[in-house]
């Protein structure tokens, strides 16, 4: 029998479907649940609830769904891994943005791996997550801010007083968008770097407002509304979310790693946060056929496998059921991502898990 760790806090599991358009749920639908499920058990359905609610909100608002791309980036030379929706939508930034598009995209940022290497401790973030966002013309700042409120308050059922737009005081246009959308607005003159964005494209920058949710532990940013500029001239607007941060606030989870497919491993006895993050991130790379070689992406994969070995006790047999469970959870979540483009080639979950186990045996 697996003993759940302290961070597997009790919560009600969500219904797989969000509120229908035009209706307002009674309380957050993320926490509406079948009796007896812990937050850890409820996470998969909760994530799907958020993604499908976002999809419906975008379609109603006139945004067209795009095809997702591989996590191992071959489409954006500025990044090694697809780390956001805008990484895929960059081709629409050629000059002024004319289309209204949205995307649900698996993403990977290795900042936690870097942090662990440097400090030996877990960072406030995980490496693997599902990103979702929308892109529109420069006139869409108010439209996308309103879409964010529609998603969080009207569709997912967060109390309006628990949603806030944080904005730099000088960014009057973004401040006015928040007021127009009916959001509480908090202005600041501190830490202006938190409200500026780069895109890996010469001359293209962004001014962002941050959308924060209040949970049991206070306020946390879960999204950005970004005015994209080229040489100081607005060319488009982006709305960017990560599902993990929304679930952390909605479900009072102790860490974003516990808001993704890694939670499947907790029910199989893997409870160390570093091990969970290493397992879920290595699974993402295994699904895309990355090999554990001594350079480039393969070196990152090797590092994740070694960290997994360091943070789990005993041979691979100890965590093999967890590896299968995480791969299955990742596969299930991807069914609710945007449809794959032709260059997306993903191994089935069972094959990916077996490959990861074999690679771990070789590396560790």
Burial class, 113, CB count within 10 angstroms (exposed 0-12 / middle 13-18 / buried 19+): buried
Mean pLDDT, residues 104-128 taken together: 95
Per-residue pLDDT at 31: 60
Is the distance from CB of 248 to CB of 256 less than 8 angstroms? yes
Residue 254 has pLDDT above 70, yes or no: yes
Q: Tell me whether residue 62 is exposed, middle or buried, using C-beta atoms within 10 angstroms of its C-beta: 0 to 12, 13 to 18, 19 or more.
A: exposed
pLDDT band for 296, please (50, 70, 90 cuts): confident
- % of the chain surpassing 70 pLDDT: 88
CA dihedral 16, 124, 90, 194 (to 10 degrees): 120
d(C-alpha 127, C-alpha 110), whole Å: 5
Q: Mean pLDDT in the chain?
A: 88
Q: Residue 240: count other Cβ atoms within 10 Å of its Cβ.
A: 23
Q: Do strands 184-188 and 163-168 pair parallel, antiparallel, or not at all (unpaired)? A: parallel
Q: Point out which residues pair with 241 in neighbouring strands.
A: 132, 223
Q: Average pLDDT in the 238-251 region?
A: 95
Residue 260's nearest CA partner among 338, 332, 345 is 332
Q: Residue 270: left if φ>0, alpha if ψ -120 to 50, beta else—which one?
A: beta
Annotate 191-234 with DSSP letters as a single string. -GGGGEEE-SSTTEEEEEEEEEEEETTEEEEEEEEEEEEETTEE
- What pLDDT is attached to residue 29? 59
Residue positions counted in the chain: 364
Indicate the pTM of the whole model: 0.89
**Measured between alpha carbons, how far is 136 from 239 in angstroms, rounded to an integer?**
9
Query: What pLDDT, on the 0 to 100 scale, is given for residue 279?
Result: 96
Measured CA to CA, the distance from residue 238 to residue 86 in angstroms comes to 8
Q: How far apart are CA 321 and CA 308, in angstroms?
A: 14
Which residues sit opposite 128 in a β-bridge?
Answer: 108
pLDDT of the residue at 240:
97
Q: What is the pLDDT of residue 35?
A: 40
On whether the CB atoms of residues 227 and 174 are closer than 8 A, the answer is: yes
Range from 75-89, 125-139, 269-283, 311-325 carrying the lowest mean pLDDT:
311-325
Q: Which has the higher per-residue pLDDT, 98 or 77?
A: 98
Contact 157, 19 (CB under 8 A): yes
**Least reliable range by pLDDT among 37-41, 67-71, 152-156, 185-189:** 37-41
pLDDT at 280: 97
The confidence score (pLDDT) of residue 28 equals 62
Report yes or no: 143 and 136 within 8 Å, Cβ to Cβ: yes
| pLDDT of 14 strictly over 60 | no
Mean pLDDT of 16-31: 46
- 315 — pLDDT class (breaks 50, 70, 90): low
Q: How far apart are CA 80 and CA 27, in angstroms?
A: 40
pLDDT of residue 23: 44
Token representation of residue 200? 């890996």
CA-CA distance, 183 to 347, in Å (whole number)? 42
Residue in the structure block whose two tokens are 């976002």: 54
Residue 294: its pLDDT value, please?
A: 84
| Greater model confidence, 152 or 296 | 152
Name which of 85-99, 280-294, 315-329 the model is least confident about.
Answer: 315-329
- Per-position DSSP letters for 183-194, written without gaps between them: -EEEEE-S-GGG
Q: What is the pLDDT of residues 141-194, one digit of tens each?
A: 999 999 999 999 999 999 999 999 999 999 999 999 999 999 999 999 888 888
Closest by CA to 104, choosing from 309, 335, 261, is 335
User: CB neighbours (10 Å) of residue 299?
Assistant: 12
CA 199, distance to chain mean position in Å, is 18
What is the arithmetic mean of pLDDT over 84-112?
Answer: 94
Residue 193's Cβ-count burial label (10 Å; 0-12, 13-18, 19+) is exposed
What sections of 25-124 are H helices per DSSP? 39-60, 86-89, 111-119
Residues 6+ positions from 323 with CB-CB distance below 8 Å: 265, 279, 283, 353, 356, 357
pLDDT tens-place string over residues 43-66: 999 999 999 999 999 999 999 999
Compute the average pLDDT of residues 317-337. 92
């Amino acid at each position: 029998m697996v003993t759940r760790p302290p961070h597997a806090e009790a919560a009600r599991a969500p219904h797989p479907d969000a509120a229908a358009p035009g209706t307002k749920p009674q309380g957050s639908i993320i926490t509406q649940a079948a009796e007896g499920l812990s937050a850890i058990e409820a996470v998969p359905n909760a994530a799907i609830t958020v993604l499908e609610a976002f999809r419906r909100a975008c379609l109603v608002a006139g945004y067209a769904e795009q095809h997702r791309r591989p996590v191992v980036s071959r489409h954006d030379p500025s990044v090694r891994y697809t780390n956001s929706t805008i990484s895929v939508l960059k081709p629409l930034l050629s000059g002024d943005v004319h289309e209204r598009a949205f995307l649900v995209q698996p993403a990977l940022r290795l900042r936690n791996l870097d942090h662990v290497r440097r400090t030996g401790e877990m960072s406030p973030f995980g490496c693997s997550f599902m990103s979702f966002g929308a892109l529109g013309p420069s006139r869409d700042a108010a439209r996308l801010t309103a879409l964010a409120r529609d998603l969080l308050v009207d569709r997912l059922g967060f109390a309006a007083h628990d949603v806030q737009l944080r904005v730099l005081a000088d960014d009057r246009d973004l401040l006015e968008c928040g007021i127009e959308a009916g959001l509480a607005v908090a202005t600041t003159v501190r830490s202006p770097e938190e409200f500026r964005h780069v895109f890996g494209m010469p001359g293209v920058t962004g001014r962002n407002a941050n959308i924060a949710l209040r949970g049991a532990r206070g306020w946390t940013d879960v999204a950005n509304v970004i005015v994209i500029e080229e040489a100081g001239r607005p060319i488009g607007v982006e709305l960017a979310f990560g599902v993990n941060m929304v679930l952390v606030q909605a479900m009072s989870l102790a860490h974003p790693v516990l808001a993704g497919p890694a939670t499947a491993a907790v029910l199989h006895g893997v409870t160390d946060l570093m091990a969970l993050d290493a397992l879920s991130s290595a699974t993402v790379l295994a699904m895309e056929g990355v090999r554990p070689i001594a350079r480039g992406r393969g070196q990152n994969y090797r590092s994740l496998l070694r960290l997994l070995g360091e943070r789990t006790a005993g041979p691979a047999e100890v965590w093999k059921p967890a590896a299968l469970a995480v791969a299955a959870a990742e596969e299930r979540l991807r069914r609710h991502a945007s449809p794959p483009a032709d260059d997306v080639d993903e191994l089935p979950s069972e094959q990916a898990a077996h490959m990861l186990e074999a690679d771990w045996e070789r590396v560790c």
